[in-house]
Amino acid sequence: MTEHVLPTAGTASAAARTGAQPAPESARMGRLAMASSIGTTLEWYDFTVYNIMAALVFNAVFFPSFDPLTGTILAFSTYAVGYISRPLGGVVFGHLGDRLGRRFVLVATLVIMGVSTGLMGLLPTYASWGIWAPVALVALRFVQGVALGGEWAGAVLLSMEHGKPDERGRNASFTQVGPSCGTLIGTGFIAAVSAWLSPADFQSWGWRIPFISSVALVLFGLWLRRGVDETPVFREMEEKKATAKTPIKEVLTQHWRRLLVAGGSRIGSDVLYALVVVFTLTYVTTVLHLSRPLALTATMIGAACNAIAVPWFGSLSDRIGRRPVYITGALLGMVWAFVFFVLMDSAHPVAICAAVVVGLLIHAMMYGPQAAFVTEQFPGRVRYAGASLAYTLAGIVGGGFAPLIIASLFKSWGSTVAVSFYVVAALGVTLIALVVARETAKRPLES
């Protein structure tokens, strides 16, 4: 049996309840696209602010008794906590998403992420609280990860299950735009605050402003999501009483091969992203001893290009298939893992910007088709749970420890070659997963 999703199903149901005329298809999909991407925009804004502060400030604010690079490694260790906690969010919210609906979970995760990030901006420093300051930071980081672990799959399904069957790659990629938009907003905001304040004031109290300001994105996201209906696929399962009673168990016992394929496909892109975005800030400022604005500018330009390219590559995967686009990105990423540092070590601003921009365009080749590819691996009754587990478990292996491993490899070997080979190995895992996977672009969704 396959799922037949009418493009206007969600609008029709809303119109029937209110007596209003259905909204035009373009307007409906526009709101769905924004509602789908706002959560990941907020969450990656939060993660970006944390990542930048971990690279630039937290080594002094929360780990002041270590040398700068060691303090940065410890800060990146707390970064990894946000990935370790994701599977808990994937399990809890994946279960709820397949039992209670996509929309319910998306509102809950948005609020949790916003509150935990705002509290980070109010934390006392190590000088005031001692060891309890980094402990509280780790605890809030854990909560952040739980929320993100439950958010991603629901955001993808919100737009994909509402949209047309032959546009799943494009529609699912709306969620994938969120990380770039969040990175762009977060980086831009920090750059503005850095320009406004002196370095001493920024390290003393200015770093708190971007954390506390996330409340504005939370309120906007809640307004967007409250105006979107539950997906037609979930409503149909509810009407037929076909929802899974134990979706997590069903995924682990009946769909574990698909779980391995879906999770493996994510690892390489996560590690490449960690290199190009997270480690760039440390490398430019700590190793090359160049200015912070240069690193932030390169990241912002790259994030803007990535945000534009992701939907394009998602649409391309609708036409020629997920695997060809995805595999090309992984192969190019292997080459760029070495070219990246050649350009960086030139210490020329244009070359550094080019290293980041091209790296994020290659990342977009994988990230564009990724959301549809991962969620299409699972049938509708366990799609939220399966996609959440694949996303969160791969996040630990890939993105969670990547900044820590990259920084540690560089510190141990004193060379970028070991870092490049690590990125190539991660992309190799992704290639293996793609080679053994089936093509899903032209297949109807399973139910």
**pLDDT, tens digit, for every residue of 267-302?**
999 999 989 987 888 889 888 888 878 988 898 899
Burial of 243 (0-12, 13-18, 19+ CB in 10 A): middle
pTM: 0.77
In tens, the pLDDT along 85-106 reads 878 888 888 878 777 777 778 8
In this predicted structure, the answer to whether residue 242 has a pLDDT above a threshold of 70 is: no
Nearest CA to 369 among 263, 268, 273, 441?
441
- The Cα-based distances of 6 to 3, 160, 167 in angstroms read 10, 12, 13
Q: b/e string for 420-432 if b means 16 or more Cβ within 10 A?
A: bebbbebbebbbb
Give me the residues paired with residue 2 across strands. Answer: 446
Confidence of residue 329 (pLDDT cuts 50, 70, 90): very high
- Is 150 or 429 the better-scoring residue by pLDDT? 429
pLDDT score of 345 more than 60 = yes
Of 123 and 23, the one with more pLDDT: 123
Instruction: Specify the range with the lowest mean pLDDT, choosing from 45-49, 95-99, 241-245.
Output: 241-245
Q: Which pLDDT belongs to residue 66?
A: 59
Cα atoms in the Cβ-side hemisphere of radius 13 Å centred on 307: 18
pLDDT > 80? residue 26: no
How many whole angstroms separate alpha carbon 337 and alpha carbon 342?
9
What would the 3-class secondary structure string for 173-193 be? HHHHHHHHHHHHHHHHHHHHH
The pair of structure tokens assigned to 11 is 């609008």
Which region holds residue 446: left if phi is over 0, alpha if psi is between -120 and 50, else beta? beta
Please state, rounded to an integer, the average pLDDT across all residues of the chain.
Answer: 82
- The pLDDT-based confidence of 73 (bands split at 50, 70, 90) is low
- Rg of the chain's alpha carbons, rounded to an integer? 21
Is residue 12's pLDDT more than 70?
no
- Is the confidence at residue 65, as pLDDT, over 80? no
Per-residue pLDDT for 9 more than 60?
no
- The region of weakest confidence among 62-66, 142-146, 173-177, 269-273 is 62-66
Best CA proximity match to 359, nearest among 262, 283, 435: 283
Query: 17-31, 152-166, 219-233: which range is least confident on average?
Result: 17-31
pLDDT in tens, 350-383: 999 999 999 999 999 999 999 999 999 998 788 8
Residues with Cβ < 8 Å from 136, sequence gap 6 or more? 123, 129
6: left (phi over 0), alpha (psi -120 to 50) or beta: beta
Q: Report the C-alpha gap between 403 and 420 in whole angstroms.
A: 13
Give the span between the Cα atoms of 180 and 163, in whole angstroms: 22
SS3 245: coil
